[in-house]
Chains A and B, each alone.
Chain A
Amino acid sequence: MIPAPFDYVRPASVEDACRVLADAEAAGDEVKVLAGGQSLLPLLRLRLAYPSALVDLGRLPELRGVADRGDHVYIGALTTHDEVMRSGVVREHVPLVALATATVADPAVRHRGTFGGSMAHADPAGDLPAVALALDCVFVVRSSDGEREIPAAEFFVDYLEPALGPGEVLLGVRVPKLGSGWGFHYEKFHRTAQAWATVGVAVAVRRGDGGAIEEARIGLTNMGPTPVRARVAEAALRGVAPSPAGSNGSDPLREACAQADAGTSPPADLHARPDYRRHLARVLTRRAVGAALG
């Protein structure tokens, strides 16, 4: 549990950080950005990663904090989980983020781990990537070549692989405000209080005037090598009136949610095999939609 030797760099500005990363890339060195270290350090300690240097963003205040920007909330990459879940702006305008963040790990981890780190780590078992996907967040990244934006749908490329170039730093994430009439819920199924999600379901749902569902957005945690949208279930939910089960025993909400696992390729691990994960995705989606509808 002792990492291999590495160099440590603490840049004084984002420009500095980008320059260090660009130089390393040119030299062919593998360097890693360090945020809260809650995912990176375990990899180092188990000697599953051997970066030559860590570039610590920890002292860059411009990467930290939450701002209300009219049609969206901007969350700086270095904002800790604890800060995110206590932010009044987040709770008021993008409550799904606060709900999901509150389920991450335990207080010790939440005081160090960061919002941006959770995204950049691109672990499909992490709770926040599915939320970013469901809300169509936009990722703002910077390299020595300048700034660019990456939509959530393109950010999570593969297992532990974000759409970040080796010279790129994630600055922050734009979380769109969805406006009024939406309900939210994050349903996490895990074996112990501090454990990662076996399956998680992030739901945002809006009803029309008649009470039927007009739009549903569903992001799934740990149902494939990346977080996934349950597009088939989303479509099936459109127009469903979430009344109690009909007298003929039909339950359109349940039927729509029974397609939550369509198009997923869930992993096998110690806590669940794929068929069980698929089953959980269906049941939990039903519960999450129900809870989001209030």
Chain B
Amino acid sequence: MTEELDAGLVAGRIAESDQMSEPSAEREMGRARRRKEDARLVTGRTMWTDNIQLPGMLYVAFLRSPMAHARITGVNVSAARSRPGVVAAYSGRDLAGEQGSLPCAWPVTEDIVIPDHPPMAVDEVRYPGEAVACVVATDRYRAADALEAIAVDYEPLDPVLDMTEALAEGAPKVHEAGNRAFTWKFAGGDIDAAFRDAPVVIDRTYVQQRLIPTAMEPRAVVATTDGDGFTLYSATQIPHVLRVMLAMTTGIPEHKLRVVAPDVGGGFGSKLQVTAEEVLALLLARRLGRPVKWTESRSEGNLTVHHGRDQLQRIAVAADRDGRIRGVRVELLADMGAYLMLVTPGVPLLGAFMYNGIYKMDAYDFTCTGVFTTKMPTDAYRGAGRPEATFAIERAVDELAHELGIDPVEVRRRNWITREEFPYTTIAGLTYDSGDYEAATEKALAMFGYDELRAEQADRRERRDPVQLGIGVSTYTEMCGLAPSRVLGSLSYGAGGWEHAAVRLLPTGKVEVVTGTSPHGQGHETAWSQIAADALGVPFEDVSVLHGDTSVAHRGMDTYGSRSLVVGGVAVLAACEKVKERARELAAHLMEASADDVEFDGGRFRVRGTDEGRTIQELALAAFAAHDLPGGFEPRLDAEATFDPDNFSFPHGTHLCAVEVDTETGRCAIRSYVAVDDVGSVVNPLIVEGQVHGGIAQGVGQALFEEAVHDADGNLVTTTMADYLIPSAADLPEFTTGRTETPATSNPLGVKGVGEAGTIASTPAVVNAITDALRPYGVRDVRMPCTPERIWRALAEAEAAVPGQAPATGPAPAAVPGFAPVPTHGSTPGAAPPPAPASEPIRGFVAPATSESAPEGGAR
């Protein structure tokens, strides 16, 4: 008999095999549970926002600006209104009276410029893809067709594309108030003293290219109203923050607005936003009195999901000749794009405390200027500020090592905080509670085979092998577990960083955990169940985790910044502890003992020294029946807890990357990659592993593949996945992962957070490896993404500067001929040639005359 492939059956089998492989009496904490979510997800029984169908639903399509910067002189939607199936069509002007302004919750300075940000452009478009009109129709096809009937008159304005030019006198303005959004400064120690007479100064400028977050699930919104209240379903990471912000922006009273994040397929920060489409969907539902849906296409997403990174970093490191770092000075230009969105200005500042990395030093100085350009706004993207900081310091420390002829691992060792020195307050004012950089590094070096690879590298250099080997190291830490509310307040953020949990004990002894975190791929349902199972002594299978709906989980701060476990998981534990205290009181009452004599073990409350006991399930039923309760005892065991951390948490680790660079073609292939991470105590090693793998892949993406490219007119040319390349499994090596476990002392679980670690660590490890491979050829840096063409040009430039270093087959000098008048090929005809890559100088800070030498010229 052939068996039908039945989703339910498959899901059941997966769940079953999981249970069979895992006996059920040990501690849950630390157990590699397969995720409860997965059987449902892999059998397609998900509720993505786009799967939601409501009676009478209408579909929205947006007409988007084909220009980076233009005045809108007219929008005519009347022809679109008469197209088949069209219910309504509006321009920005039609909505101007009620659409309000999209919020920025992080005014980082007193004098910050926060321009008005209409969800739909009214008078002027300021980035390509900005919505200028919309159609609402009975299906999405008719909506898309009717867009072609809308006429828009644009009067082109100068695009503003380059941050340095944007700040120059007389530059075209993105907004009336000018192109500088803010300048934010921070300092510790005497920076002038650190640099004065410093024997070595490394001064470098790095480009953090613009990235496009590419979550598996595109953004989607459904808005509906019953004439009184509203429900918004959105592929969001932040249902709670969104509800508060939408209530403030749209005027819909908070208690009349329910926000639901159904199944959400990845975010990486891109769904930590209050988007134009969310606001507009609510307004359209309100106007039309019918449910509306919008789902972005991938190309629409590349244009209008908020972008990430895009900073120009100048970092100077002053050091002694033995490699000891005296001080670090950082100047950043951060591209805000055209508007300040939810936390746009705060993103570079999340890195402000991290450019000192894991190192001790006497002085630190940081300045960041936020700049407006006519591009999509930037905002949080996996790591948000910290990958940028880690990249700059880890690249610069490598350069320092090279300058001094010291092994890059050794230079780090001479500067890092030693294990005896924790807790350690850094020059940036953070107190790192715990860590063991020695242990993680030793373990990584051993797993990597560092000495063997160095020997092979020497051999290949000797032989002038056209394929060179490079070794890159990155020893990172990060501040995550966002965040102590008091610290957020001192940084002018608009909200706090606590998290909430509720634990309900049902009459039959089963448990519902309600969390304010909002998982979108992280596996909270599994991990929170493990925490609750241990705390309450109930089976893992008896716990359900509810989340993502403001009418169910009414209080929360959502998921980002590797905060969910460190703040939200701890809140779950705290709520469980409260439940236990209530249960103990009830148990004592029922057993006629003093609560002090009742001890808890394995789900059972027992009178010390006797056999008399009650299980937590029996107590749940007793509370429900309420026949015999202590005086004043409310008939429930449920409890809630809100946890606000005292400190950030500081995961750390050592990543090592070996690359092979083909000097004839410029191709770089990762040969091996070792990651040893210390994320504190581990709730579920399988989930940790998944986060590390995905994180590394994303960091490698920045190092080698990804870049949002605009043409000279400011149009985005990387609008499809044929142009914006992200690595797949086929492009990545097997990652070798290991862990050291130094528990955090800042929370009772000892956990540190793992969501961003891989992304933060891997980018500099890869680029350090590439420069390590190419140093004998005179190459000092390759700008990201390190494409084959950029590597080839870097070799050509080095060869032109010092003939004879590059291989005999090296490229011709890097004179760049004009583009041949041939159309672009590949699968997306129409993409324009990009601006020149590697060989153009980095615009921005004036490079110092000699970047390597001491003032007296004594470095070499």
Residues of chain A whose beta carbon lies under 8 Å from any beta carbon of chain B: 1-2, 4-5, 39, 42-43, 46, 48, 123-125, 159-160, 189, 191-196, 198, 222, 224-225, 254, 265-276, 279-280, 283-284
Contact = CB atoms under 8 A, between A and B. Distances in A.
Given A1-B298, A266-B820, A274-B819, A192 B727 contact: yes
A269 B824 contact: yes
13 contacts: A1-B298, A46-B720, A48-B829, A123-B826, A192-B726, A198-B788, A267-B820, A268-B824, A269-B831, A269-B834, A273-B819, A279-B811, A279-B812
A267 B667 contact: no
Nearest to B148: A4
A2 B144 contact: yes
Interface string B284-300: 00000000000001111
Nearest to A276: B789
B570 to A, nearest CB: 40
Nearest to B298: A1
A46 B299 contact: yes
A2 B141 contact: yes
A270 B718 contact: yes
Nearest to A249: B808
Contacts of B829: 43, 48, 159-160
A150 B709 CA distance: 41
Given A4-B145, A189-B667, A192-B725, A279 B792 contact: yes
A191 B705 contact: yes
Contacts of A269: 824-826, 831, 833-834
Given A159-B822, A271-B789, 20 more contacts: A1-B299, A1-B300, A2-B144, A5-B145, A123-B826, A124-B825, A159-B825, A189-B788, A192-B727, A192-B731, A196-B722, A222-B825, A254-B809, A266-B822, A269-B831, A276-B811, A279-B792, A283-B664, A283-B665, A284-B665
A265 B822 CA distance: 8
A39 B828 CA distance: 9
B787 A1 contact: no
For the complex of A and B, the 3 pairs showing the least CB-CB separation, nearest first, are A193-B730, A1-B297, A268-B819
Interface of B: 140-141, 144-145, 148, 297-300, 664-665, 667, 705, 709, 717-718, 720, 722-723, 725-728, 730-731, 787-789, 792-793, 809, 811-812, 816-817, 819-820, 822-831, 833-834, 836
A192 B705 contact: yes
Given A1-B299, A276-B792, A189 B824 contact: no
Nearest to B717: A270
B635 to A, nearest CB: 55
Given A192-B731, A273-B789, A46 B811 contact: no
A274 B665 contact: no
A194 B730 CA distance: 9
B705, B788, B793, B836 — most chain A CB neighbours (10 Å): B788
Contacts of A123: 825-827
Contacts of A271: 787, 789, 826
Contacts of B830: 46, 48
A48 B826 CA distance: 14
A48 B831 CA distance: 12
A2, A5, A196, A272 — most chain B CB neighbours (10 Å): A2
A272 B789 contact: yes
Nearest to B812: A275
A270 B709 contact: yes
Nearest to B787: A191
Contacts of A284: 665
Nearest to B466: A283
A189 B666 CA distance: 11
A268 B834 CA distance: 8
A194 to B, nearest CB: 7
A279 B793 CA distance: 11
B828 A42 contact: yes
A126 B722 CA distance: 13
Nearest to B295: A1
Contacts of B788: 189, 191, 198
B220 to A, nearest CB: 13
Nearest to B707: A270
Contacts of B144: 2
A257 to B, nearest CB: 11
A27 B560 CA distance: 59
A284 B809 CA distance: 12
B834 A195 contact: no
Given A191-B787, A272-B789, A196 B827 contact: yes
A149 to B, nearest CB: 27
Nearest to A279: B811
Contact of A270 (B145, B667, B723, B812): B723
Contact of B728 (A125, A193, A275): A193
Nearest to A269: B824
Nearest to A283: B664
A123 B825 CA distance: 7
Given A46-B299, A272-B789, A191 B725 contact: yes
Contacts of B725: 191-192, 195
A125 B145 contact: no
A225 B817 contact: no
Contacts of A274: 817, 819-820
B250 to A, nearest CB: 28
Nearest to A42: B827
Contacts of A280: 665
A1 B299 CA distance: 8
Contact of A267 (B718, B793, B823, B827): B823
A267 B831 contact: no
B831 A275 contact: no
Nearest to B61: A2
B707 to A, nearest CB: 9
Contacts of A189: 665, 667, 788
Contacts of A222: 825-826
A226 B824 CA distance: 12
Contacts of B717: 270
Contact of B731 (A2, A193, A225): A193
A159 B722 contact: no
Contacts of A43: 829
Contacts of A275: 811-812, 816-817
A276 B787 CA distance: 12
Given A1-B297, A2-B144, A275-B816, A267 B730 contact: no
Given A196-B827, A269-B834, A270-B718, A225 B822 contact: yes
Contacts of A267: 820, 822-825
A1, A123, A265, A284 — most chain B CB neighbours (10 Å): A1
Nearest to A254: B809
A22 B812 CA distance: 52
A193 B718 CA distance: 18
A269 B722 CA distance: 12
Contacts of A195: 722, 725
A225 B820 CA distance: 11
